[in-house]
Amino acid sequence: MIPLTYNVRSLLIRKTTTVATALGIGLVVFVLASAFMLGTGITKTMVGAGRSDNAIVLRKGSDTEMASSLEVNTLGLIGAAPGVKHSNAGTSLLSGEVVIVIAQDKLGTQGQVSNVLVRGVPATALEVRPEVHVIAGHPPRPGTDEVMVGKGLRGKFAGMDLEQSFELKKNRPVKVVGIFESGGSSFESEVWCDVDTARSSFGRDGLVSSVTVRLDSPSKFDAFKATMESDKRLGLEALTETGYYEKQSSGTALFIKIMGGVIVFFLSGGAMIGALITMLAAVSQRQREIGTLRALGFSRFSILTSFLLESSVLSLAGGLLGIACALCMSFVKLSMMNFATWQEVTFSFDPNPAVLLGSLVFGGLMGILGGFYPALRAASVSPIEAMRG
Amino acid sequence: MGLVTIAVRNIWRNKLRTVLTLSAVTVLVIFFLLLRTVIWSWTASAEQGARDRIGTRHKVSFIMQLPRRYVEEIRSVPGVKQVAHASWFGAKDPNHTDDFFSTIAVEPKEFLEVYDEIKVPKDQVEAWKQDRQGAIVGDVLAKKRGWKLGQKVVLQGTIYPGDWEFHVSGIYTADSPTVDRSTLWFQYKYLDESRAPRLQDQVGWIMARVDDPGRAAEIAKAVDKKFDDRDIQTLSMSERALQASFLGMVSAILRLIDVVSFVMVLIMGLILGNTIAMGVRERTHEYGVLRAIGFLPKHIVLFILSEGLALGMLGGLIGLAIGYPFVQKGMGPAMEENMGAFFAFFRVTPELVVASFFLASGLGLAAAIIPARTASKLEVVSALRRVG
């Protein structure tokens, strides 16, 4: 077996080429890791908003909360359905909400507006969604024009910070009394106000957009769904909350992943050829050296492995560099439109170990694939001819 | 034979390496074309949006509606020529529920006046006006679904529940490439008469043509001012500003694509530089000989630079020869058909072709600079001493 130091030293001698090739591979690994980090970040943000033991009821055929509307009198019916959890006081844990997207002035742009989702919620909403915590101030009191805003909106839109105010409609200012977080989910890009405030500001009297209920356990969902959808005249549709948000995010997440896949396919093709060129040159320059190694008694197989190792070391070095850069991306926050709701949601790159490791392996694989043919050529060098020069 | 010709011939010295380099550059040029076309086609609609059209929507939210009487009031604003209103319907084909296309309710006559880039044969326009359930569909959508003139089409409403029956009265094309040819436009009458009374007499948004494009922003302000003390205020902007604000929402994606294009250019440069550096290292001895028989360092530089330039130009040409038909004939029609709402016109612009060629050539030249400097600075003696 030829020691690894031989390969490392050979790489160090040709510094420029080594660095250029490793950089090429590093860039590919960087793009690959970033694309998938963003993809998982999006899924985490949007799907993270849902709980598997929560169910959401919409009007049948409307794909989003925004397009849906239900009569307020269906609330009692939904609350009485089997499987719905009851609070200690004996009331059903249910939250009938009014959801609307409003245009707000974006800070730091020249008068550009963007869409913010406003959710009118009853007092029970915080019980149905316990992951929502107020981190500053207090939750809005029912029946007042107070709102709380997700921490993702803070400082991004005019008037959306503690003690500031903005208008839901003309001459209807609301005051921000609280900032909340929800473990990174898309709720953090929403404004929550009292349901009656939302109803009267947006002319939704007697209506809610959607109803979210807490179930006794996730397994109760099928029975709940059957009850909801049994009466065709009501035209209701029940989904698990997780399922609903998965459906909402699938378009955007798929778009990023397909885009990332196509990008990586092309980039890795280019970088792999780069590794191939480098290793081919290395082999042809070291003909004599390889001949000597063969004459010393190293087998064809150990020459083959040695050169494969050399290109793997090269690509792993590049890969590590790429991952280091990709990790820096986790400090970057992006705000992007969710294609399903037109609402602007803040995402981050999610540095999960599986993605990072996968990208590193992919980088190594590129090195092995690119180095295979040159290594084969090295192994087939005839010692006598090579040493003759 | 000139020095440059000799230099270019050097490219074929190591055929395998040259072929590999060229294929890497080719792949990256194709990809560059693709990415830039994505960005261009996304931004093109914003840049080519009509200058003389302004749109008016509900100030609070685009999902809230305006009273229909606002249409007439906007018509009376000085500078406004023609007005049309439109209402988002939202429908799915029950057999293809995942396939998105726009369904919008309009008043046929006004609509075709304001959107004069949409072309429908005269007899089909007449048929549409006569039929309450009539609709015109874009040729791209009609072809994809196999819808024929006079056909009955049943769609499921997402906002207005139930089955809605439409008749294909006309198939439209457009003389501006950025118009979405996958939309179904149908009679407002049909929508309004079929929905709940409390929703009636409302419209989604109002588009107005102004007589002087230069005053579009001013007129948009005048419109908003008119409704400022009403119950429902409006937000008006020129079509361009409207599309710019849409682009603002997807700007993160556009920025990411920009970053990737830049990364790609870097990789391309690294590969070209690597190839040239290796070629130069192998030929150090030769350069020593050239210097010894009287060639100057500047000749060596010329040698290596022209080799790099030729390599880049060749890669660019091959990339364009494959990539242009690939994007233009293969990807383009497929994107327009399946993602027409985002990419109404997915084609390579002539400017991009020129830019890609210069990019590849420029990179070849730039990549040769470092090897050329190193080679020209070598002492004749030490260059000659180097073997192989």
Task: Report whether pLDDT(B45) > 70.
Answer: no
Within a domain: A381: yes
**A195, A216, A237 — which closes off a domain?**
A216
Question: What tokens appear for A137 in the block?
Answer: 């101030």
Question: What tokens appear for B245 in the block?
Answer: 């604000």
Instruction: Report how many helices (DSSP H) and strands (DSSP E) chain B contains, helices first.
Output: 15, 13
Nearest to B250 among A23, A31, A336 (CB): A336
Share of chain B above pLDDT 70, in %: 95
User: Which chain A residue is nearest to residue B241, measuring alpha carbons?
Assistant: A112
A194 - beta bridge partners? A121
Does the beta carbon of A234 lie under 8 angstroms from any beta carbon of chain B? no
Within a domain: B72: yes
Number of domains in chain B: 2
Mean pLDDT is lowest, of A135-139, B36-40, B224-228, B248-252, for: B248-252
Using 50, 70 and 90 to split pLDDT, how confident is the model at A178?
very high
A252 plus A378 within the same structural domain: yes
Q: Say whether B20 and A280 touch across the interface (CB within 8 A).
A: yes
Concatenating the DSSP letter of every residue in B92-131 gives EBTTBTT----EEEE-HHHHHHH-TTEE--HHHHHHHHH-
Contacts of B158 in chain A (CB under 8 A): 61-63, 67
A65 plus A91 within the same structural domain: yes
**B164, B183, B211 — which closes off a domain?**
B211
Model confidence over A300-312: pLDDT tens digits? Answer: 888 888 888 888 8
Model confidence over B65-116: pLDDT tens digits? Answer: 899 999 999 999 999 999 999 999 988 888 887 777 889 999 999 999 998 8
Within a domain: B365: yes
A252 plus A379 within the same structural domain: yes
What integer pLDDT is reported at residue B136 of this predicted model?
94
> Cα–Cα distance between B132 and B166 in angstroms, integer?
9
- By CB atoms closer than 10 A (0-12, 13-18, 19+), residue A366 is buried
B192 plus B260 within the same structural domain: no
Q: Say whether B60 and A202 touch across the interface (CB within 8 A).
A: yes
B138 plus B175 within the same structural domain: yes
A206 plus A252 within the same structural domain: no
Strand A210-214 relative to strand A94-105: parallel, antiparallel, unpaired?
antiparallel
> Cα–Cα distance between B293 and B287 in angstroms, integer?
10
Concatenating the DSSP letter of every residue in B42-96 gives HHHHHHHS-TTEEEEEESS-TTSPEETHHHHHHHTSTTEEEEEEEEE--EEBTTB
A265 plus A190 within the same structural domain: no
B73 plus B204 within the same structural domain: yes
Using 50, 70 and 90 to split pLDDT, how confident is the model at B168?
very high
The listed range with the strongest mean pLDDT (A101-105, B190-194, B244-248, B342-346) is B190-194
B66 plus B20 within the same structural domain: no
CB A113 within 8 A of CB A104: yes
What integer pLDDT is reported at residue A340 of this predicted model?
66
Q: Which amino acid is at B380?
A: V
> Cα–Cα distance between A18 and B63 in angstroms, integer?
57
B195 plus B274 within the same structural domain: no
> Cα–Cα distance between B109 and B107 in angstroms, integer?
6
Structural domain boundaries enclosing A167: 54-216
Within a domain: B190: yes
Task: Report whether pLDDT(A389) > 80.
Answer: no
B186 plus B255 within the same structural domain: no
SS3 B218: helix
B63 plus B204 within the same structural domain: yes
Within a domain: B24: yes
Number of domains in chain A: 2
Contacts of B24 in chain A (CB under 8 A): 269-270, 273-274, 277
- List C-alpha distances in Å: B56 to A31, B62, B86, B110, B115: 41, 10, 10, 16, 15
CB B124 within 8 A of CB B170: yes
A258 plus A367 within the same structural domain: yes
Higher pLDDT, B186 or B2: B186
B199 plus B332 within the same structural domain: no
Within a domain: B142: yes
Q: Residue B343: name the closest of B184, B177, B185, B207 by CA.
A: B177
Quote the ipTM score. 0.71
Within a domain: A323: yes
Widest CA span in chain A? 95
Q: Which amino acid is at B368?
A: A
Model confidence over A317-336: pLDDT tens digits? Answer: 999 999 999 998 888 887 77
Within a domain: A235: no
Side-chain half-sphere exposure of A260, counting CA atoms within 13 A: 20
Using 50, 70 and 90 to split pLDDT, how confident is the model at B127?
very high
- List C-alpha distances in Å: B52 to A21, B48, B49, B185, B257: 53, 11, 9, 22, 31
What integer pLDDT is reported at residue B388 of this predicted model?
45
B26 plus B89 within the same structural domain: no
Model confidence over B255-307: pLDDT tens digits? Answer: 888 888 888 888 888 888 888 888 888 888 888 888 888 888 888 888 889 88
Interface test with B, best of A266, A286, A334 (most B CBs within 10 A): A266
Model confidence over B313-338: pLDDT tens digits? Answer: 999 999 999 988 888 887 777 777 76
B132 plus B150 within the same structural domain: yes
Task: Report whether pLDDT(B161) > 60.
Answer: yes
Model confidence over A191-241: pLDDT tens digits? Answer: 999 999 988 888 888 889 999 999 998 998 999 998 888 877 778 889 998
Within a domain: A240: no
> Cα–Cα distance between B119 and A176 in angstroms, integer?
50
Using 50, 70 and 90 to split pLDDT, how confident is the model at B358?
very high
- Return the H-helix or E-strand segment holding B28: helix B15-48
B40 plus B97 within the same structural domain: no
Contacts of A36 in chain B (CB under 8 A): none
Using 50, 70 and 90 to split pLDDT, how confident is the model at A380?
confident
Token look-up 């242009």 returns B324
Closest approach of chain B CAs to the CA of A340, in angstroms? 11
**A199, A216, A233 — which closes off a domain?**
A216
Q: Residue A129: name the closest of A214, A216, A242, A245 by CA.
A: A214
Does the beta carbon of B235 lie under 8 angstroms from any beta carbon of chain A? yes
Using 50, 70 and 90 to split pLDDT, how confident is the model at B7?
confident
What angle separates helix B15-48 from helix B251-282, to the nearest 10 degrees? 160
Q: Residue B256: name the closest of A344, A260, A107, A29 by CA.
A: A260
A43 plus A60 within the same structural domain: no
Higher pLDDT, B176 or A148: A148
CB B371 within 8 A of CB B270: no
A308 plus A334 within the same structural domain: yes
A60 plus A37 within the same structural domain: no
A190 plus A259 within the same structural domain: no
A70 plus A86 within the same structural domain: yes
Closest approach of chain B CAs to the CA of A313, in angstroms? 18
A84 plus A28 within the same structural domain: no
Nearest to B158 among A24, A62, A202 (CB): A62
Average pLDDT for residues A70-88, to the nearest whole number?
Answer: 87
B33 plus B67 within the same structural domain: no
Average pLDDT for residues B26-39, to the nearest whole number?
Answer: 86
Structural domain boundaries enclosing B339: 3-46+250-385
Using 50, 70 and 90 to split pLDDT, how confident is the model at A339?
low
**A172, A195, A216 — which closes off a domain?**
A216
What integer pLDDT is reported at residue B342 of this predicted model?
66
- By CB atoms closer than 10 A (0-12, 13-18, 19+), residue B266 is middle
